[in-house]
Chains A and B, each alone.
Chain A
Amino acid sequence: MTATTAITTRGAKTAVPRRRAGEGFDWGQPIVYVVALAVAAIAVGPVLYVFISGFRTNPDFFTNPAGMPDPWTADNYLRVLSNPTFWNQVFASTVTALGTTLGVMLFGVMAAFVIARYDFKGRQLLYAMFTTGLLFPLTISILPLTVLLRQLNLFGSWWGLIIPQVAFALPTTIIILVPFLRAIPGELEDAAMVDGTSRIGFFWRIMVPLSMPALMTVGVLAFVGSWNAYLLPLFVLQAGGAGSDSYTLPLGVQFFSTANGQDTTGVLSYTALAMLPAILFFTLAEKRIVGGLQGAVKG
């Protein structure tokens, strides 16, 4: 009898660790739900508002800005979805984000491989060089970078986005990848050597597949970073004189908003549709993003 009670209390304790024995009702629990729901509502409320108000007409919006659509109309959304510029911008964002992601993953894993598994003079210097990159965010170098890109004839082109974005993502990438690659056991390498594989073959056939989890994290971070980027496209594409058809989505939304300031519900639907890919992508890659951030904190 005593044994059974002991077991059940222990079971209860692991399930709800901070509920103490003898306490009738855990008042903490409802409060927790209220707080969590309130925070979630504040977080999502403005986003929902944008999506819902995209279904309104402008006169309806200005009569009661905080109300629900009356009547509901999909006109704004249909207008954006049938606007070729919007799709061109989706395409521009996709191409530059994918290009950045592939570049970061490839260059990153190659450099991290050298730093993690080669023994040579200057290895520490190489690693230190990349890690100091954390101290040089894009904001600081954007003006000279613009001059440089103009001289390299990359101004106004997607390459002018992709290449610098790859470069600026390298520090984080290498910091994440180096410990991961180093943790892969050396016996694997010896075995591969005995089987007659070269270092390059070892890299492609063993290192890259084994480091896929870390590479995916790095790739997701690079993709999201590129997809949401604003400062670099502002300088490279807008100041670089590219047409609004080759703008990336954030730049395109901002341009649309400036050009159609009076059409508030039109801007809201354009914004909503521009938010959608980020939200969809996040739902698909949530574990990677959150896991990557948590890993970064746990060290």
Chain B
Amino acid sequence: MTALDTAGPAVTAGPAPSRNTKHSARRTTRKWGEISLFAGPAVLVYLIFVLLPVLLAAFYSFFNWNGLGPLDRFIGLDNYTRLLADPVFHRSVFNNFFIIVMSLLIQGPLAILVALLMNRPLRFRGLLRALIFVPYVLSEVTAGLAWQILLQSVPPNRWGPFDTLLRSIGIENPPAWLADQDVVMWTMFGILTWKYLGLAIILMLAGLSGVPEELYEAAALDGAGWWKTQWYITVPLLGPTIRIWAFLSIIGALQLFDMVWIVTGGGPLNASSTMAVYMVKNGLNVSQIGFGSAVAVVLFLISLVIALVYQRFALRRDLAGAITGGVR
């Protein structure tokens, strides 16, 4: 009865708008239904397995907890003070930054140089590129095990494959690549360069393929030599590629774990430990989830600050629209 009453005037007042609202309401419901149907699974999995753990890490870092018993020993910032006072952690942070700085100083320029040289019509160009790219495709574990065997050295008389090779070309006393505390990080840097130089070269070659040919012809007409042309024309135009490579390299170096864990386990005497190795050693072997989480939070904060600063000053122009403004 009441239903009829309310429906009555509405119909007389104007059937068109009423039907329209109903229709569009149904359409809106359907639209949201479709949206949640399509995006729902991804959002759910992402929230639970990517975002929630990060929040949990921040939460756990205030507890003394082994991950199993009740979470009731709140200790405030104690994990952080302990962490920041630990010389092994200092060494780990230093090692991460050592890899960052050396990569930027050596790996990048080396890759640019090789790419500049290779950026011309070559016979077997495809094959050469593929060969250079091989180390990048291998898992860190298989590559790491290979290097562990290649570089093993058991003094005084048992030389590993690499040392035997060096002796055959007259280098009698190579350092203990993996056993010398002062050498091990250089060794690690060498292995990482071997693994990631190919990727850098491929990226640089990709960047070079975007440099317009006419510029070279113009430079040649002006009488510029090869080096001058590269230095004043090619390298500046390669800027965006170099900046993105550097960003990927820095973030990768901050997360460095697999290779170190496989090749040295962080040794000898923590000399090759990194933040992630330090975290896993504490979290996995000693099962201190609270303390390990504090390491994760510090690692995250360092990465975040570097990422923000880098984006602000270097990547801003290149990424404008790529990450922040992707949806207009």
Contacts and interface: CB of A to CB of B under 8 A. Distances in A.
A279 B138 contact: yes
Contacts of A298: 206-207, 210
A189 B149 CA distance: 58
A31 B113 CA distance: 12
B312 interface: no
B142 A253 contact: yes
Contact of B51 (A31, A123, A136, A281): A136
Contacts of B133: 43, 282, 286, 290
Give chain A's interface secondary structure class. Answer: helix
B276 interface: yes
Interface residues of A, number: 109
Nearest to B214: A17
Interface in B302-328: 303-304, 307, 318, 322-324, 326-327
Give chain B's interface secondary structure class. Answer: helix
Nearest to B167: A66
Contacts of A66: 161-162, 164-165, 168
A168 B147 contact: no
Interface in B262-304: 262, 276, 279-280, 283-284, 289, 292-293, 296-297, 299-300, 303-304
A166 B162 CA distance: 39
Contacts of A249: 139
Contacts of B35: 114, 118, 120
Contacts of A259: none
A224 B25 CA distance: 45
Nearest to A46: B146
B60 A130 contact: no
Contacts of A131: 323, 326
B43 interface: yes
Contact of A254 (B145, B147, B150): B145
A213 B64 CA distance: 49
A65 B159 contact: yes
Interface string B133-146: 11101111111011
Interface stretch (B10-18, B86-94, B116-124): B116-124
A144 B293 contact: yes
B147 A46 contact: yes
A143 B279 contact: yes
Interface residues of B, number: 106
B146 A47 contact: yes
Nearest to B287: A239
Contacts of A144: 52-54, 56-57, 60, 289, 293
A42 B290 CA distance: 43
A145 interface: yes
A50 B146 contact: yes
Contacts of B34: 114, 118, 199-200
A114 B300 contact: no
Nearest to B111: A39
B199 interface: yes
A36 B117 contact: yes
B134 A279 contact: yes
A222 to B, nearest CB: 13
B311 to A, nearest CB: 11
Contact of A139 (B121, B164, B296): B296
Contacts of B255: 137, 139
B39 A43 contact: no
A222 B177 CA distance: 34
Interface string A194-228: 00000110010000000000000000000010011
Contacts of A14: 213
Given A136-B54, A199-B34, A230 B138 contact: no
A257 B201 contact: no
B203 interface: yes
A234 B226 CA distance: 50
A63 B278 CA distance: 37
Interface string A126-144: 1111110111110111111
Nearest to A224: B137
Interface of A: 13-18, 20, 28, 31-33, 35-37, 39-40, 42-44, 46-47, 49-50, 53, 62, 64-66, 106-108, 110-111, 113-115, 118, 120, 123-124, 126-131, 133-137, 139-148, 150, 163-164, 166-168, 170, 174-175, 178-179, 199-200, 203, 224, 227-231, 234-235, 239, 249-251, 253-254, 257, 264, 267-268, 271, 274-275, 278-279, 281-283, 286, 289-290, 293-294, 297-299
Given A37-B128, A115-B327, 18 more contacts: A15-B121, A32-B118, A36-B128, A43-B197, A130-B46, A133-B50, A139-B279, A141-B50, A142-B280, A144-B293, A145-B53, A147-B67, A175-B323, A179-B326, A257-B148, A282-B134, A282-B137, A290-B202
5 contacts: A135-B300, A139-B279, A140-B57, A254-B145, A298-B210
Which 6 pairs between the two chains have the least Cβ-Cβ distance? A141-B53, A294-B206, A144-B56, A111-B42, A228-B139, A167-B49
